[in-house]
Amino acid sequence: MAILVIAEHDNDAVQAATLNTVTAARELGTEIDVLVAGHNCSQVGDGAAKIEGVTRVLLADHSVLEHQLAECLAPVIAGIATGYTHLLAPASTFGKNMMPRVAALLDVQQVSDISAIVAGDTFVRPIYAGNALATVCSADAIKVVTVRTTAFDAAADEGGTASVEMLSVAESPPLSEFLGQELTRSERPELTTADIIVSGGRGMQSSENFVMLERLADQLGAAVGASRAAVDAGYVPNDYQVGQTGKVVAPDLYIAIGISGAIQHLAGMKDSKVIVAINKDEEAPIFQIADYGWVTDLFTAVPELEAALAE
């Protein structure tokens, strides 16, 4: 049972989501290869070789793979798939974009966003925004799976001694062209790996008011998140969105401020260890899942909280 994990990376370093995916792979078998496909990414391959439990790193380094477009990545992965029982990638926008294209090339029905492994062919996955959990059994010879990273611990990124092998990449005419990206730069922890998240909703009323949440987040060493309503209203960029169609998070502490708690938002954060809700509407659904609820006006509560934390 050899398993292939597709590394998520930025040609510089392995992204944290890869480490959770390796842990899922280790539940399936002991022979684990990691594919690093990109351009000028040999240091990513060296990093992946140090991940605990990895047997071998396959390095596909080619200019057509620089931006990891699905059209270019999928044939590379499908081309080496036959040696494996499982292909795993994180259920991030990287994995969601590319993995079904791989599955279709292999004539496999992918299993998306698994939250538990029951057996080599049987997985648990949330459906209906996490309001139900389906246990599904795959009849395909190769299992193509994306992994809900919050459901699996991160593998250690030190201590591994995998070999690194180069993989040749066939030139293919590109179907799409990368024009550029606008990445949100932040000194704060990344949303999906943060221990604490301070999240704001429609109740914040403006992007200026989010500065207040950022101050609170910095005091706590937290990441800043948002509900769909706050993103749609333009208060914060799209990559802040937590929910069914945004990011799924499970920090130790999630502080929901001015968020009513639509099921689509709860789907993205209800596995947090401790949930705090601050909202002036005591009927807000968020209070039904909050460990600590505070019914109050957020505009007075947040400064008070800052002061109390400073003491």
User: What is the distance between the alpha carbons of residues 214 and 224, in angstroms, rounded to a whole number?
Assistant: 7
Tokens standing for residue 218: 């910095």
Q: How far is the CB of 198 from other proteins (least distance, A)?
A: 12
Q: How far is the CB of 55 from other proteins (least distance, A)?
A: 28
Which CB atom, from 103 or from 162, has the smaller least distance to other proteins? Answer: 103
Q: How far is the CB of 36 from other proteins (least distance, A)?
A: 18
Q: How far is the CB of 209 from other proteins (least distance, A)?
A: 18
Q: How far is the CB of 43 from other proteins (least distance, A)?
A: 19
Q: How far is the CB of 307 from other proteins (least distance, A)?
A: 7
Which helix (H) or strand (E) segment holds residue 112: the answer is strand 111-114
Torsion sign over Cα 269, 274, 279, 284: positive
- Terminal-residue alpha carbon distance, the chain: 55
Torsion sign over Cα 87, 128, 272, 192: positive
Which CB atom, from 168 or from 181, has the smaller least distance to other proteins? Answer: 181
From the number of C-beta atoms within 10 Å of its C-beta (0-12, 13-18, 19+), residue 229 rates as: buried
Which regions of 7-96 does DSSP assign to beta strands (E)?
31-38, 56-61, 86-90
Q: How far is the CB of 147 from other proteins (least distance, A)?
A: 14
Strand order in the sheet with 56-61: 111-114, 143-147, 86-90, 2-6, 31-38, 56-61, 163-166
Which CB atom, from 32 or from 236, has the smaller least distance to other proteins? Answer: 236
Which CB atom, from 49 or from 302, has the smaller least distance to other proteins? Answer: 302
User: What is the distance between the alpha carbons of residues 120 and 145, in angstroms, rounded to a whole number?
Assistant: 11
Q: Which residues of 10-47 are buried (b: 16+ CB within 10 A; e: fewer)?
A: ebeebbbbbbbbbbbbbebeebbbbbbbbeebeebbeb
Which CB atom, from 81 or from 111, has the smaller least distance to other proteins? Answer: 111
Which CB atom, from 14 or from 69, has the smaller least distance to other proteins? Answer: 69
Which CB atom, from 4 or from 74, has the smaller least distance to other proteins? Answer: 74
